[in-house]
A and B are shown apart, each in its own frame.
Chain A
């Protein structure tokens, strides 16, 4: 009996807390969405530029791009964010917290995305480039018109994966005091000690975002698949 009332009470408490706090997460959700959107967009742009630069035969450029990828992949994102927000001011470079987070996340995603693009570009049959070049197209024209559109399509499943990681990684921006979902959750928990319902809400919000993203990418993939048997 005692157990039953205890369970009943905590269930009621769970739902009242959820109903009470869910709307309070909205500013955090907005911040997470902004961070994720900007860092995915910029990260994809960076990834594309890096992948294309690596296609050129300029040894120095390739070396620089490889160093970038090695450093980003070889150090924790947490450290990268600390470095940009707390480390760079020591060298006289001060960036506001939100741009800091976007820059950190974008360069982080960019390194991984560039490798996704590189893999996709390398998977395109060499005959495609030869056919394009034999029409008289320049290297850049054949890359832009023939290779990249096919490579982009092929990279979508892996990109989707990276985009979802990007959404979740944006939670690390809380360490440089961006008020996104995780920071709000920790603040609410500290204020109310209602640990379970509040982290539950945070989890649901992340799930909704990542599931929406998965669906969106699936639609793009299907749309681009029209010409394949």
Chain B
């Protein structure tokens, strides 16, 4: 069953056409990695899926539900099904770690405080950071912050999680701990779309890798096809630059 279906998605920033007609289907439990040069539109595509950017044209269905970008209630409803993890973590600095994770269930789902806390603690154990539950984000390393951010998005029990370059802002030695959490999630069957420059992660975890070039899907396939037998000249150049 398809979890996300995108048809003919166009996005303009002013006169600049960033997405030029994207068609994409992501199945349940599938892990899709989006790769491509910066400015290719991969982050914009991700942000259109949960309406952080308003699409200019085209249709997006999530879990069978058409996203109505103009309707606040539709957007809020969709976002509960779609988690998002940001490059810069974006934890709430005025809340402790556990409060960060509780915030969605408390405010959006109106869960009782006890239940929200129990859920949050379980998730913090899962991402291996429960001993920092009562610290503020500023006390944590980047890798720890990103793991909290993943727990925060899991707390809404989303059907799919979007990762927007989740390890790009991390020191190299902290990348591994975040990728490990993501691998665990993939193994558990979470549907994931990951914009990443971590080709190792894409090779190991992705069911499908999509190469985006100038606002279009230039090539897609299994990691083996994309990395070992790239067809598109741009993809060959891109991989050449990255894997050097």
- Asked whether A135 lies within 8 Å of B108 as measured between CB atoms, the reply is yes
User: Is the contact region of chain A dominated by helix, strand, or loop, or is it mixed?
Assistant: helix
- Asked whether B107 lies within 8 Å of A145 as measured between CB atoms, the reply is yes
Instruction: Please judge, given known A-B contacts A127-B88, A127-B90, whether A134 and B103 are in contact too, CB under 8 Å.
Output: no
Please provide the chain A residues from 121 to 149 with a CB less than 8 Å away from any CB of chain B in the complex: 125, 127-128, 130-139, 141, 145-146, 149
**Cα–Cα, bound, A169→B91 (Å):** 41
A153 at the interface (CB under 8 A from B): yes
Partner of B94 from A133, A136, A138, A149 at Cβ < 8 Å: A149
- Segment with Cβ contacts to A, from B79-87, B177-185, B205-213, B225-233: B79-87
- Per the CB 8 Å criterion, the residue count for chain B at the interface is 29
Residue of B nearest to A149 (CB): B94
B156 at the interface (CB under 8 A from A): yes
Residue of B nearest to A145 (CB): B107
**Cα–Cα, bound, A82→B162 (Å):** 59
Residue of A nearest to B91 (CB): A131
**Cα–Cα, bound, A135→B181 (Å):** 20
- Asked whether B72 lies within 8 Å of A137 as measured between CB atoms, the reply is no
Instruction: Write out the residue numbers on chain A whose beta carbons fall within 8 Å of the beta carbon of B86.
Output: 127, 130-131
- Asked whether B52 lies within 8 Å of A228 as measured between CB atoms, the reply is no
Instruction: Please judge, given known A-B contacts A135-B103, A145-B103, whether A150 and B88 are in contact too, CB under 8 Å.
Output: no
Instruction: Write out the residue numbers on chain B whose beta carbons fall within 8 Å of the beta carbon of A134.
Output: 50, 52, 79, 82-84, 153
- Asked whether B108 lies within 8 Å of A141 as measured between CB atoms, the reply is yes
**Cα–Cα, bound, A95→B226 (Å):** 78
- Asked whether A136 lies within 8 Å of B108 as measured between CB atoms, the reply is yes
Instruction: Write out the residue numbers on chain A whose beta carbons fall within 8 Å of the beta carbon of B136.
Output: 226-228
- Asked whether B72 lies within 8 Å of A130 as measured between CB atoms, the reply is no
How far apart are B172's CB and chain A's nearest CB, in angstroms?
23
B189 at the interface (CB under 8 A from A): no
How far apart are A140's CB and chain B's nearest CB, in angstroms?
10
Instruction: Please judge, given known A-B contacts A130-B90, A135-B153, whether A227 and B138 are in contact too, CB under 8 Å.
Output: yes
Please provide the chain A residues from 190 to 229 with a CB less than 8 Å away from any CB of chain B in the complex: 226-229
Residue of B nearest to A152 (CB): B94
Specify which of A125, A128, A226, A227 lies most central, judged by the most chain B CB atoms within 10 Å of its CB.
A227
**Cα–Cα, bound, A135→B104 (Å):** 6
Instruction: Please judge, given known A-B contacts A138-B72, A228-B138, A229-B138, whether A133 and B79 are in contact too, CB under 8 Å.
Output: yes
Instruction: Write out the residue numbers on chain A whose beta carbons fall within 8 Å of the beta carbon of B72.
Output: 138-139
- Asked whether A128 lies within 8 Å of B76 as measured between CB atoms, the reply is no
- Asked whether A136 lies within 8 Å of B90 as measured between CB atoms, the reply is no
How far apart are B234's CB and chain A's nearest CB, in angstroms?
30
- Asked whether B88 lies within 8 Å of A136 as measured between CB atoms, the reply is no
How far apart are B43's CB and chain A's nearest CB, in angstroms?
12
B92 at the interface (CB under 8 A from A): yes
- Asked whether B83 lies within 8 Å of A150 as measured between CB atoms, the reply is no
- Asked whether B138 lies within 8 Å of A136 as measured between CB atoms, the reply is no
Please provide the chain B residues from 87 to 105 with a CB less than 8 Å away from any CB of chain A in the complex: 88, 90-94, 96, 103-104
- Asked whether B152 lies within 8 Å of A135 as measured between CB atoms, the reply is yes
| A contact set with B: CB distance below 8 Å | 125, 127-128, 130-139, 141, 145-146, 149-150, 153, 226-229
